[in-house]
Amino acid sequence: MLETDKKAFTITRIFDAPRAVIWRAWTDPDEASAWWHPQGLTTPRDSVELDVRPGGSYRYTMVAPDGSSYPTGGVYREVVEPERLVFTWADPGDPQDDAPVITVVLEDLGAQTRMTFHVDGVGGRPGDGDVYDGWDSAFDELAEHLA
């Protein structure tokens, strides 16, 4: 398989916040609802459910200005506080065994945190107007939320 054919991508960001704050952004439903969506969409707090433990599930729904909704969910495979989350990513109710898998690694840089976000099972690249750009925009939302 050519590297360009691989269904995976990685986004790395450095946030101006300690690792514990970024961990909480990923694992606290109040925090997640503030940024788990690209710019222009919202994630209502009442749609966010997180059971952050291996085997636990999560779900949330993004809502567009026209009322279109995008439910998302998955199962946590690995939880190592405050440094690593591994979880499936799909429509709620879809089989999780072949769902894309997201790995989030948080590196402590003192007052900052390096986040490496990797998706296996979905292709993406900057400027795709799709999955990569959606997550990249959500991380812009996270940066604004932290500011």
CA dihedral sign of residues 18, 14, 9, 127: positive
What residue segments make up the domains of the chain, in order of their start?
Answer: 3-146
10 Å CB burial of residue 119 (0-12, 13-18, 19+) is buried
Our measurement of the distance from residue 40's CA atom to the centroid of its chain's CA atoms, rounded to an integer in Å, reads 17
Query: How far apart are the C-alpha atoms of 90 and 100, rounded to whole Å?
Result: 7
Average pLDDT of span 18-23 = 97
Whether residue 9 has pLDDT greater than 50? yes
Q: Report which of residues 16 and 1 the model is more confident about.
A: 16
Report the DSSP pairing between strands 8-15 and 57-63.
unpaired
Instruction: Record the pTM.
Output: 0.91
For 3, phi then psi, to 5°, come to: -55, -35
Is it true that domain 3-146 has CATH number 3.30.565.10? no
Q: What percent of the chain has pLDDT over 90?
A: 84
Long-range contacts of 36-41 (CB under 8 A, 24+ apart): 36/60, 36/62, 36/138, 37/62, 37/138, 37/141, 38/62, 38/133, 38/134, 38/135, 38/137, 38/138, 38/141, 39/137, 39/140, 39/141, 40/64, 40/65, 41/65, 41/70
Encode pLDDT of 85-144 as tens digits.
999 999 887 888 889 999 999 999 999 999 999 999 998 888 888 899 999 999 999 999
Q: Write down the pLDDT at residue 96.
A: 80
Closest of 109, 113, 108 to residue 139, by C-alpha = 113
